Each structure stands twice: as C-alpha cells, then as structure tokens.
Amino acid sequence: MAEIQLRNISKRWGAFVGVHKFDLTIPDREFLVLLGPSGCGKTTTMRMIAGLEEATEGDILIDGKRVNDLDPKDRDVAMVFQSYALYPNMNVYENIRFPLKVRKTDSGGHDERVRRAAEMVELTDFLHRRPAELSGGQRQRVALARAIVRQPNVFLMDEPLSNLDAKLRVSTRAQIKNLSHELKVTTIYVTHDQIEAMTLADRVVVMNKGIVQQVATPTEIYDRPANSFVAGFIGNPAMNLMEGELRGGTFVGKNVRIPGLKGPDGAVTLGFRAEDARIADKGEIAAPIYSLELLGDATMITVKAGGALVSIKAPKDFRAEIDDPIQAGIPAAICHLFDAKTGERIDP
C-alpha cells in the first residue's frame, strides 16, 4: 500500500530543464499514466521516483516518508522496462525468482511465489524455457512476473509494450489491466501511446517539454482538453484543430463558418472530434475531399478547412471520390475553443 507525493520536483541538467515543478499526489492503488511525446519528461519523472535520477529540487514521499536520499533498493518499488532485461543463462523460473534471491527473502516461500506470479501472466507452461526460446510478448510477461513476485508497494512501468507488435500490444495491455485490478498496487506507467493511456489509466498526466499540461481521468481529458496541445495529442484521430476568428459568436475560417459559439471576438483555434461531425446536404464546412480511408467500421474523410487537414467520420458505406465536393455538419455543441496565442481552453 503506497501513496506517492511529488512536491514540486524538478530536474535540470545545466540550463536544460527536463521536468519543471511537477506537483501531484498519487493515491494508494491508483493506476496513473504519464503520457506525452518523446523528450517530454515522463521517463525522467519515473526515474526520479525510482531513485535512478536525483531530483534537482522538490520532495518525493512514499507513504509520507521522504525518499529523495534513499537508494532505489530501499524504496520498495519494482520496475518493468521497455527492454526486457532478462538473464539469458537462466530459465523463466530463475528469472522470475531472481529478485527474491537478491533480497535474501526466506527461500521456503520462493516456489509458491514464483508459480503464483507465473500463473498470473500465463507462463506456467514456460518456466523451463530460456529467454531465447520465447516470443517478445512472452519475454515481456516474464519481466512483469519478475516485478510481481517482489510484492512491492509501487509498480513503475516504462513503455513496457513499445517493443511488441500491434496484436501483442492489445493482448498484453489487457493482461496489465487485469493485473492492476487483481494486485491493487499503486502503479505509474509511462507511455507515448495515447490509446494505452486511455485504456489503462485511472488518471492521466499529459506532459510536454517537462511541464504538466493536464491531470484528469481519461474521459475528462478526451471530452474537455485543457489546451490545444492536449486536444491535438489525445484521440485516434486526434481532435481537429482549425485556425480562424470569432466574430459575434460565429467562427470564420477558410471553407468553414460555424455560428452559435460563445467567446470573445478575435483569433481562436476551434476544435472538434471526427466522430462528432456528420456528412450533410448543407453544413458548416464546404470543401472538396482531400483523401478517403476505409477503416472497416467507418470511412474517414479528410478535407482542407481552416488552414488544416480536417477528419470527418462517415458511415462505412459512404462512397465518393477524391476532389468531390462535400459538406459537413459541425454544430456549435461539438466545438471546443482555444486561445490562438496561449492555446488555453476558452470556456463560455
């Protein structure tokens, strides 16, 4: 059981700021995802919690105890890395058991704990094999079992699925979700994949350039992004963002005119989700089709509007050709407004 408090932690290397004043409380048993593009500071934040990086300033508390000066081995955290870091000369059983030997725990309970951890990640039939005889997904599950067998207070997972192919990512993601539910251990998970973040997290921390952009549940982040960066990063596809002006409650941009909005006149960025728009006989966007993509369950149409490529989800039986003129209904109710300069959300 562990509550983690990060009190204004920062990490700097000379003039370069990797993480800037990260302040957050992570309740016991929460599954928190640190999400952002490469170089945003998410892995650095995790490494400071683990003790693999020293915080330049700020305090890290685990269960109310300041751990800044503790070695990694004394923080009772278990890490799962992007690289599996398995011992090639040991079989799966010994790889899973290794943390227990290093920590000199009572050997009498080793076998039960190893087999229980292996069962949780469906590796019972592979305990005799060596890493070279396993697939990438199986190796990642060995790494998960090795963390589980420790029975730590905190799990730290650094992009554990990024080396897997698309199908394996889906199945392993489901296993991690189930393990989180079963183990009920505070977990911090780092990823650049917003689908992983949305499907796994209790809360998501979106980061960019070392700064926290938004902390909220996946639903809140999807429905009410705090700024245009979050809006353009979350979603598949990401939210459409168009530049234009608000004039008396009407958004005006190239090939687009949307009335019924609330906000101050001037330059704004308008956003909407592809699945919220619709193809119409008469709509707020009128433009030729730029591209068409059949997704199986839908057809994704792309047009140029508001100085950007804009995606609109149509039914799977929609038929048209590139350069055909279309119109799309973009009612004010589905729109989000952001300040053109700061990117901050504009609420009515």
Same domain, yes or no: 219 and 244: no
Q: How far is residue 320's CA from residue 340's CA, in Å, rounded to a whole number? A: 34
Same domain, yes or no: 266 and 206: no
User: What pLDDT score was predicted for residue 210?
Assistant: 96
Tokens representing 238?
A: 């990401």
Q: Which of 193, 228, 263 is the last residue of a domain?
A: 228
163 has a pLDDT exceeding 80: no
pLDDT digits (tens, 9 = 90+) for 311-339: 999 999 999 999 999 999 999 999 999 99
Same domain, yes or no: 118 and 264: no
279 has a pLDDT exceeding 90: yes
Q: How far is residue 294's CA from residue 100's CA, in Å, rounded to a whole number? A: 51
252 has a pLDDT exceeding 70: yes
235 in a structural domain: no
Phi, psi torsion values for 331, nearest 5 degrees: -65, 155
The boundaries of the domain holding residue 73 are 4-228
Nearest to 274 by CA among 264, 285, 263: 285
Q: How many domains does the chain have?
A: 2
Q: Is 9 exposed, middle or buried (0-12, 13-18, 19+ CB in 10 A)?
A: buried
Q: How far is residue 255's CA from residue 307's CA, in Å, rounded to a whole number? A: 9
Q: Which of 228, 252, 287 is the last residue of a domain?
A: 228
What's the pLDDT band for 167 if we cut at 50, 70, 90? Answer: confident
Same domain, yes or no: 196 and 267: no
118 has a pLDDT exceeding 70: yes
User: What pLDDT score was predicted for residue 174?
Assistant: 86
Same domain, yes or no: 59 and 163: yes
- Name which of 44-48, 177-181, 206-210, 253-257 the model is least confident about: 177-181
User: What pLDDT score was predicted for residue 232?
Assistant: 95
- Mean pLDDT of the chain, nearest integer: 92
User: What pLDDT score was predicted for residue 219?
Assistant: 96
Angle at 333 between CA 328 and CA 335, to 5 degrees: 70
From residue 247, alpha-carbon distances to 22, 26, 132, 293 in Å are 38, 43, 64, 34
Strands 186-191 and 31-35: parallel
From residue 171, alpha-carbon distances to 164, 166, 192 in Å are 10, 9, 18
Omega of the bond prior to 131 within 30 degrees of 0, cis? no
What's the pLDDT band for 1 if we cut at 50, 70, 90? Answer: low
pLDDT digits (tens, 9 = 90+) for 295-305: 999 999 999 99
111 has a pLDDT exceeding 80: yes
Same domain, yes or no: 145 and 265: no
233 in a structural domain: no
Nearest to 152 by CA among 142, 163, 144, 141: 144
Amino acid at 106: D
Q: What is the CATH number of the domain that holds 251?
A: 2.40.50.140
User: What pLDDT score was predicted for residue 187?
Assistant: 94
Tokens representing 22?
A: 């990260």
Portion of the chain with pLDDT greater than 90, in percent: 75
Helices 110-120 and 136-149 meet at what angle, rounded to 10? 140
Q: Which of 228, 259, 292 is the last residue of a domain?
A: 228
210 in a structural domain: yes
Same domain, yes or no: 54 and 180: yes
Q: How far is residue 180's CA from residue 325's CA, in Å, rounded to a whole number? A: 49
Tokens representing 55?
A: 């915080």
Q: How far is residue 188's CA from residue 46's CA, in Å, rounded to a whole number? A: 8
What's the pLDDT band for 180 if we cut at 50, 70, 90? Answer: confident
Q: How far is residue 39's CA from residue 156's CA, in Å, rounded to a whole number? A: 18
Same domain, yes or no: 167 and 297: no
What's the pLDDT band for 263 if we cut at 50, 70, 90? Answer: very high
107 has a pLDDT exceeding 80: no
Instruction: Mark 295-314 as b/e (b = at least 16 C-beta within 10 Å).
Output: eeebbbbbbbbbebebbbbb
Same domain, yes or no: 213 and 275: no
Place of tokens 């109310």: 64
Q: Is 11 exposed, middle or buried (0-12, 13-18, 19+ CB in 10 A)?
A: buried
138 in a structural domain: yes
- Name which of 69-78, 101-110, 281-290, 318-327 the model is least confident about: 101-110
pLDDT digits (tens, 9 = 90+) for 187-236: 999 999 999 999 999 999 999 999 999 999 999 999 999 999 999 999 98
Q: How far is residue 113's CA from residue 127's CA, in Å, rounded to a whole number? A: 13
Place of tokens 């992570």: 26
Same domain, yes or no: 206 and 255: no
Tokens representing 96?
A: 């899973």
Same domain, yes or no: 57 and 182: yes
What's the pLDDT band for 82 if we cut at 50, 70, 90? Answer: confident
Same domain, yes or no: 163 and 293: no
From residue 325, alpha-carbon distances to 239, 299, 304, 329 in Å are 22, 16, 11, 14
Q: What is the CATH number of the domain that holds 54?
A: 3.40.50.300
Nearest to 251 by CA among 325, 335, 344, 310: 335
